[in-house]
Amino acid sequence: MLRSDPLPGALVVLTVMTGMLDAISYLGLGKVFLAMMTGNAIFLGLSISGVTGFSTLRVLLAFACFATGIVLGTRAGRVAERRARRHWFFHAMAVELLVLAVATGLAFLVPAAGTPARTVVIALLALAMGARCATVRRLAVPDLPVTVGLTGTLIALVQDSPLTGGADALALRKAGVVLAMPLGAALGGLLMTAFGLGWSLLAALGLVLLVTAGVWWHPAGPARRG
């Protein structure tokens, strides 16, 4: 499957990056997620109830920018879907790389927490994650939601497993998706502890760059098939 289509493997690796980014944002940008909006809904409720350490403004900003990214990603996908999906996936990732690079640069230039530049970093990264989720949803690769419906993947994995009398041919892929998010979160936590925000975001940027290059140079990718 991976030899004929680079996207399933690429999306699993991007799920690792999503876990990294949400761990980095929680630890370095003030208890807010950039991709996992379910978690932000919980944070919003805690903030409204008066629990200290959570910001209504940051969470609402993440929601708004994530939704804006979905709009932009969906519109771009409709324009580009006339081409092979590996082409418009590559172009979507190239745009994401640009946005991540700007956000990472800001994190290095303004390292102090609580500054307006950190708010811009949240906005840019949530925008990028929203656009990515829209792209992945349109790709419709089975059981690879990246950030949308991870709980559903876990339910499908268990429900279709031998424990319930099922025989799931995609069980390995589903398990990979379920494990990728906590693996990424662990990496993000280690990076934040050792190196701080800027270098952690640079590592996430590097991972996306590797995925994008891998899709481009894959035997079934745009560079080989045109």
Structural domain including 74 reads 7-225
Q: Is residue 51 part of a domain?
A: yes
Which of these, 156, 144, 159, 169, lies nearest to 16 by C-alpha position? 144
Q: Is residue 1 part of a domain?
A: no
Q: Is residue 20 part of a domain?
A: yes
The residue-averaged pLDDT of 138-153 equals 68
Residue in the structure block whose two tokens are 């493997």: 9
pTM over 0.85: yes
The confidence score (pLDDT) of residue 1 equals 44
**pLDDT over 80 (residue 173):** no
In the numeric block, which tokens belong to residue 141? Answer: 């690769």
Read off the amino acid at residue 127: L
Identify the residue with better confidence: 96 or 143: 96
Give Cα 32 to chain centroid, integer Å: 14
In the numeric block, which tokens belong to residue 99? Answer: 């946005």
Q: Is residue 117 part of a domain?
A: yes
For residue 118, give Cα distances in angstroms to 109, 123, 162, 165, 216.
Answer: 10, 9, 47, 50, 32
The residue-averaged pLDDT of 134-148 equals 73
Q: Is residue 2 part of a domain?
A: no
The confidence score (pLDDT) of residue 56 equals 94
**pLDDT over 80 (residue 63):** yes
**pLDDT over 90 (residue 199):** yes
Which of these, 177, 200, 176, lies nearest to 188 by C-alpha position? 200
pLDDT band at 171 (very low <50, low <70, confident <90, very high): low
Q: What is the CATH number of the domain that holds 11?
A: 1.20.1250
Task: Name the domain count of the chain.
Answer: 1
pLDDT (tens digit per residue) in 73-119? 888 877 766 666 667 788 888 899 999 999 999 999 876 656 788 89
Mean pLDDT across the chain, nearest whole number? Answer: 84
Q: Is residue 74 part of a domain?
A: yes
